[in-house]
Structure 1
Amino acid sequence: MPTVAAIGLLVGALSFAVVRPRGLAEALVAVPAAALAILTGLVPWHDAATEVKAMAPTVGFLAAVLVLARLAEEWSVFAYLGALAGKVGRTNPKHLLAVVFVNASVVTAVLSLDATVVLLTPVVLAAAIKAGARTRPHLYACTHLANSASLLLPVSNLTNLLAFDASGLSFGRFAALMALPWLAVILVEYAVFRRFFNNDLAATTTPTQQPKVKAPKFALAVLAATLLGFAAADPLGIHPAFVAMAGAAVLAAPKLRRSKELVKAANPGFLAFVLALGVLVLAVRRQGLDDLIAHAVPHGTSLLALLAVATIAAVLANLLNNLPATLVLLPAVQHEPALVLAMLIGVNVGPNLTYAGSLATLLWRRILHATGERPLTSDFLRLGAISVPATLIAGTTALWVALITF
């Protein structure tokens, strides 16, 4: 019964987060479910408090980077990227797709996948329409790269931050080892997109006049300084959350943003959901899941072992969602940094297979529904079935090469 109850609470919270009836916050079910898990003894209060305390710095970073991304939008950073893409791809959809890939990959790496899904996707949609291109390839690129291009830095994804804290790697070492997998995954993804959307990329209509947007030099400089700050702060033992907060403070100061607006940008409801999810996953782990995962995960660092871990992670991401999959797998792999990085490839690339694999993908789908650009589930699944195995193998093989080279 305890096992059934723990799984039921987790599935209920995740199902509500996936469906989000009437746009209600994910925390509306997750927080009471976590409280119930504590009250019924599925998770002792002390263990729940320890889990929340351990996740707090990571969730704090998430809040800071959400604010940073929102302020970057107000400084027209995303409008500038959209105008740049429209200018380059004005007469050739293939050129537009290439620029979208570059923009989405960089935005995801620096400002996290949420910025790509929420802020870059509408800009890319407008740029594609004005360039006279079909929108499908460029919109699907946003969601795929929001997941797969989040491999590069510890700050690119919440899953990365959780894994980074457990890996024992420095910021620079993490980035150095993941640079080659990041490039390999993006290049394979691009090749798949060029083939899959060949007909869309060959069709054009008459482009409209592209708006002129000046480069927001101040905001771009602050973002660049923040990125350098992430790397510089790590040897000093400073958590990246404080660096992100500093960058947000610099961008907010000239505009004298009101505190209520910044709190809203931090999405406190989602932050509460993440903490509650940690407690719910802990409840399931205590019912024997840790032992099961420990027996399934290999302990070596050969290419086959890395591929096995990445595959297990990808499967769990699509069954549970990538955030709980990360929380479930970390105890079994944190003894070996190579396995932690292989797990990240699985939980970051794997969600491109189904809508439920990542909350960011579900949010992307809602955004497109709101704009009238409804994605076809059949297209999403077919594209994922082609791209995920290819990028999973490419990224994991590149990681193995990086490990034996560097």
Structure 2
Amino acid sequence: MIVWPIAAFSTAGVLARPFRIGEAWWAVLGALLLLVTGQLTLGEVGHAVGQGTDVYLFLVGMMLIAEMARTTGLFDWIAAWAVRHAKGSASRLFYLVYGVGIVVTTFMSNDATAVVLTPAVLAAAKAAKLERPLPHLFACALIANAASFILPVSNPANLVVFAGQMPSLGAWFRLFLAPSGIAVAVTFAALYWSQRDDLRQHMQSDVPVPPLSVEARIVAFGIVVMGVALLAASALGADLGWPTCVAGAATFALVLLRARALATRAAREMSWAVLPLVAGLFVLVAALSKIGVAAELARLLKHLQATAPQWSVWAAGIATALVSNIANNLPAGLMAGATVAASHAPAKVAAATLIGIDLGPNLSVTGSLATVLWLTALRREGVEVSFIQFLKVGLVAMPVALLLCLGALALV
């Protein structure tokens, strides 16, 4: 069966980036191979790509507003403010970054933390002349996943996993309040402990705060409006893509009217390659679904629930966490959503699946789309984080947090 080798080849390319070829090329190549070998028809490929429309809109709006924040100097202003409040302490700056990351992830999604907070932290590290800024950058990546099930809006994957059967906000808190608190606290403790030596370094604090331009104020207002729109859409059970894209486009239009050069630069420098990457992953999932992978997983989950229900929460959470690191949590979330729906899994099993999809990617650098976006932001500034570097941190931070979260869920 040729689907499996193609999926493995494409996934390996996304994870390893051989010859320094970007992740998007490998995902698209896999999709094209599935098409030319007859595993999927052109109509099926088009349908699979179309399934990602909400994700594309979400990413375009988020990346657009992040680029404008960078080009208008908003990130520089935030960076200077953070450095001054850190008062020369790398640890205090770490606390600020982690705390802001919780807020941004909770109300604007983990992808927003990757594309909005990471550049600001990079700017802060440069302003403070931090010799070793990786602890603060790791904080951006890990809190983006650890806090991504505090609210339904905290991760677009949450909507995919529950596949139109999103619990009410009250039911959501009953399932996820304790696990999300554990995830945030344990991840903080593990990350701080693993980076404790670098967090003792000294940094500059006497950094002048640049004036905030009118364009930067417009972008800041746009970010607030986007956050409100996302919360409203989540409360109404609506898609998140359109509100995000409209808020980003409206902010872009206002900046364009005042400073055409800044706006066009932001649009030109966006990481457009993320979109074909996501499209390719949707096609790979469609091919795996076509050969019955989701149906077989649903059968196995039903059998486990019938024979050993006490282990179903643990099995669902651990399995999806591991798969997310092998295949990225976006396709894993799509497959998990189909599996949960087909098996009519209990609420706790569905919740465990979501925790694995959201928190599991803290193990590897390509585990989630948010971390891929984080990597992209770092590479643009000449900062490289290898698979092994991230894995060393992930091995400390993720397994304990995951097991404690699943234990808390099992007790609900």
Q: Write the mapping of 1:295-306 to structure 2, written as runs, cut at 5 A.
A: 295-297=299-301, 298-299=304-305, 304-306=311-313
1:307 maps to: 314
2:201 to 190, 203, 214: 203
* Residue 356 (structure 1) shift: 3.5
Please list the CA deviations of residues 303-361 of structure 1 after superposition, one character each: whole Å capped at 9, or x if unmatched: 74323211101111122222222222221113345433322221222222223423543
Would you say the 8 A contact 1:65–1:112 is kept in 2?
no
Instruction: Provide the residue aligned with 2:137 in structure 1.
Output: 139
Deviates more, 1:23-32 or 1:49-58: 23-32
Q: How far apart, CA to CA, are the structure 2 residues paired with 1:242 and 1:359?
A: 19
Give 1:70-81 correspondences, 5 Å limit: 70-81=67-78
Alignment pair present for 1:351 and 2:355: no
Q: CA deviation at 1:154?
A: 3.9
Q: Deviations over 1:6-64 (max 9, x none)?
A: 12222232233334467655443433532442454423555444433433233322322
User: Partners of 2:125 and 2:296 in 1: how far apart?
Assistant: 47
User: SS where residue 357 of structure 1 aligns?
Assistant: coil
SS at match of 1:239: coil
The 5-angstrom pairing of residues 141-220 of structure 1 reads 141-169=139-167, 174=172, 177-204=175-202, 207-213=204-210, 218-220=218-220
Which amino acid counterpart does residue 395 of structure 1 have in structure 2?
C
- CA change 1:123–1:333 in 2 (3 A) is same
Q: Which amino acid aligns with 1:102?
A: G
Instruction: Give, in angstroms, the shift of residue 130 of structure 1.
Output: 4.3
Measure, in 1, the Cα distance between the counterparts of 2:205 and 2:181: 33
Match of 1:286 in 2: 290
Ranges in structure 1 where 5+ consecutive residues have no aligned partner:
none
Task: Check the 8 A contact 2:226/2:248 in 1, yes or no.
Answer: no
Contact 1:10/1:277, CA 8 A, preserved across alignment: no
Counterpart residue identity of residue 322, structure 2: V
What does residue 329 of structure 1 align with?
A: 336
State the shift of 1:384 in Å.
Answer: 1.5
Matches of 1:341 and 1:84, distance apart in 2: 38
In structure 2, distance between residues paired with 1:251 and 1:79? 19
Is 1:69–1:111's contact at 8 Å kept on the other side of the alignment? no
- Distance in 2 separating the partners of 1:56 and 1:18: 24
What is the TM-score normalised by the length of structure 1? Answer: 0.82
Which whole-Å deviations, capped at 9, do the CAs of 1:101-122 have from their partners, x for residues lacking one?
Answer: 0122233344444443344334
TM-score by length of 2: 0.81
1:367-406 to structure 2, matched below 5 A, reads 368=378, 371=381, 373-375=383-385, 379-399=389-409, 404=412
Counterpart residue type for residue 249 of structure 1: A
* Rounded Cα–Cα distance in structure 2 between residues aligned with 1:13 and 1:223: 35
Q: CA deviation at 1:185?
A: 1.1
Residues 64 and 266 in structure 1, CA contact (< 8 A), matched pair in contact too = no
Q: Deviations over 1:170-217 (max 9, x none)?
A: 578657754543332111111112322222223325x25213146765
1:277 aligns with one of 278, 281, 288: 281
Distance 1:172 1:33 in 2: 41
| From 337, 349, 352, the counterpart of 1:339 | 349
Q: Report SS of the residue matched to 2:148.
A: helix
The 8 Å contact of residues 67 and 265 in structure 1, kept in 2 or not, is answered as: no
- The question of whether the paired residues in 1 share the 8 Å contact of 2:14 and 2:23 is answered with yes
Is the CA contact (8 Å cut-off) linking 1:90 and 1:132 kept in structure 2?
no
Q: Distance in 2 between matches of 1:293 and 1:371?
A: 41
The answer to whether the 8 A contact 2:323-2:329 is kept is yes
Q: Decide whether aligned partners of structure 1 residues 169 and 268 sit closer, same or farther in structure 2, where only a CA change above 3 A counts.
A: farther
- Residue segments in structure 2 that go unaligned for 5+ positions in a row: none
Q: Which residue identity is paired with 2:396?
A: I
* 8 Å contact kept, 2:84–2:206: no
Q: 1:68 to 1:167 in 2, by over 3 A?
A: farther
Bigger Cα displacement from structure 2, 22-31 vs 91-100: 22-31
Q: 1:104 to 1:271 in 2, by over 3 A?
A: same
How far did residue 280 of structure 1 move?
1.6
Q: Any idea what the Cα deviations from partners look like across 1:75-131, whole Å, max 9, x if unmatched?
A: 544334322321222232221111010122233344444443344334323424544
Rounded Cα–Cα distance in structure 2 between residues aligned with 1:136 and 1:261: 28
Aligned residues of 1:125 and 1:139 also touching (Cα < 8 A): yes
